[in-house]
Amino acid sequence: MKLHWSPRSPFVRKVMITLHECGQLENVDLVRSVVSLSAPPNSAVLIDNPLGKIPTLITDDGDALFDSRVICEYLDIKSGRNLFPAKKDERMKHLRWQALCDGLADILLLWRIELTRQSGPWDIVTDGWQTKVRASMVVLEGEVEAFNNSEFGIGHISLVCALGQLEFRWSNCDWRKHFPKLSNLEADLAKRPSINATGVKDDQENKGTEITNGQLSF
């Protein structure tokens, strides 16, 4: 398999954690693929994914799979690991957590790009994102017990990746102080080798844009 990959992407991280958990890390070539919504699309990624987004996985059969949700479920089915529970109630719980946490990560990514806009960010949009990020964190803090009572799965993976993005790009927002239960849960989950080995980080290929005027606060 081949994965369009970046060490900076929370969505690629979901796939990397899943590869670890499914014991398939050895079976994939990681191809560093630089993409940004604020730059022309990467032509090598576009060939495999017309949306120009990563992660995109090329299977051994030559199929191109995207997005992270589809790739993670594919790897889970292929390995029989069961990160996407089969039973309805548990499955819906994990899929909902995935939707919420991916949505949160989406906002955090888009917000940073909005802050680089030369004419200045669109306040009505960033104010809305502020409200949505806060509301999402409050909901997640209230569901820590449910996370703890559920078998580790795609919901936990998505949560760790969204919180990792907060820590990586919004390090001064002090989320751990405001959401102590989530902070404890994240610290527990970080003990798993799959999570410990996959933290998002910048690399030499393409440093993240330095943004100092982010206003995310809780």
Ligand X SMILES: N[C@@H](CCC(=O)N[C@@H](CS)C(=O)NCC(=O)O)C(=O)O
Q: Which residues form the interface with ligand X (CB under 6 A)?
A: 9, 11, 35-37, 52-55, 67-69, 102, 109
- Cα angle: 165, vertex 167, 168; to 5 degrees: 60
Shortest CB 50 distance to ligand X, Å: 11
Instruction: Give SS3 for 31.
Output: strand
Signed CA dihedral, 148, 149, 154, 158: sign only: negative
Q: Which is nearer to ligand X, 7 or 141 (by Cβ)?
A: 7
Q: How far apart are CA 117 and CA 81, in angstroms?
A: 43
Q: Can you tell me the distance from the alpha carbon of 98 to that of 146, in angstroms, rounded to the nearest whole number?
A: 14
Cα–Cα distance, 154 to 98 (Å, whole number): 7
The distance of closest approach from Cβ of residue 145 to ligand X in the complex, given in angstroms and rounded to an integer, is 27
Task: Give the residue at shortest CB distance from ligand X.
Answer: 67
Nearer to ligand X, 7 or 178 (CB): 7
Of residues 25 and 46, the one with the C-beta less far from ligand X: 46
Q: Nearest distance from residue 37's CB to ligand X, in Å?
A: 4
Q: How far is the CB of 80 from ligand X (least distance, A)?
A: 23
Q: How far is the CB of 112 from ligand X (least distance, A)?
A: 10
CB nearer to ligand X: give 93 or 169: 169
Place of tokens 């029989």: 80
CB of 149 to ligand X, least distance (A): 26
Nearer to ligand X, 18 or 144 (CB): 18
Q: Which two tokens stand for residue 22?
A: 């499914």
Rounded Cα distance between 27 and 25, Å, is: 5
Name residues whose C-beta falls within 8 Å of residue 175's C-beta, 6 or more positions apart in sequence.
137, 163, 166, 167, 182, 183, 218
Rank residues 144 and 162 by Cβ distance to ligand X and give the closer one: 162
> Do residues 166 and 173 lie in contact, with contact meaning Cβ atoms separated by under 8 Å?
yes
